Chains A and B, each alone.
Chain A
Amino acid sequence: GENVEQHPSTLSVQEGDSAVIKCTYSDSASNYFPWYKQELGKGPQLIIDIRSNVGEKKDQRIAVTLNKTAKHFSLHITETQPEDSAVYFCAATTSGGSYIPTFGRGTSLIVHP
C-alpha cells in the first residue's frame, strides 16, 4: 500500500518568514495530493491540492509543488501570519479502488508574532 512520510514534525518560524513542509510517497500510481490545515479542536480543512499532471499550483500565499519522478511534494507558505499556526497534513490518493487518501503524520506549524 501507499506510504506517506512528512517532515518536519514541528516547524517554528517568525511572522513574515516562509514555511516549507515536505512529503514523500511510495506508490507511483498516486495521482492526487491534497493538503489540509487542522486547527486545534477542529476538523481538517482542505487548503490546496494538486494532481499528477501539474507540477505546481499557487493560491495567494500558499503553493504546492510536485515532483513525480522523485515522488515528493511540498507545501510552501509565504509571508506567514500567526493565524497560519496549525497542524498541516499532506495526503496521497491512488487512482482506482475507493480513492482513499493516505495521510502523513502532520506538521505542527508555529508562527511567532
Chain B
Amino acid sequence: GAVVSQHPSWVICKSGTSVKIECRSLDFQATTMFWYRQFPKQSLMLMATSNEGSKATYEQGVEKDKFLINHASLTLSTLTVTSAHPEDSSFYICSARGFLGYEQYFGPGTRLTVT
C-alpha cells in the first residue's frame, strides 16, 4: 500500500516552454501533497504544500507564477514549470499524506532537463 506515482519519470524540454508533472496517490486519498526539488547530492528542498481544493502554500523564495501547483482531487496534484529555463533543470519529487497519521510517501521523482 501507500504508492505514489509520478509522470513523466524524465523530460527534456526547450527553454521557454512549459512542462507539467503529475503526481498520483494510487491506493489512498491524499489530503496533502508536497512538491520538492532536489539538487545532486543535496537534501530535499520543499517548494510548496497543497491541500485538495485549496491554493498551494509556497515556501519562501519559490516563484508561484513559475511553479504552478494544482491539487485537483484527493489523488492527483500537478506541478507546471512555466517558461522553463536551464536553471530549472533538477529532480522534482512529490509526496503525499493521507487523512490519518503523519506518514508521507514519496513518488519516484521526475528528472527535468531544460536545454
Q: Which residues of A contact B (CB under 8 A)?
A: 32, 34, 36, 41-46, 49, 51, 89, 93, 98-101, 103-106, 108
Contact = CB atoms under 8 A, between A and B. Distances in A.
B104 interface: yes
Which secondary structure characterizes the binding site on chain A?
Answer: strand
Interface residues of B, number: 24
B104 A43 contact: no
Which secondary structure characterizes the binding site on chain B?
Answer: strand
Interface string B17-39: 00000000000000010100000
Contact of B102 (A32, A43, A104): A32
A46 B104 contact: yes
B57 A99 contact: no
B104 A34 contact: yes
B44 A89 contact: yes
B106 A45 contact: yes
Contacts of B4: 43
B84 interface: no
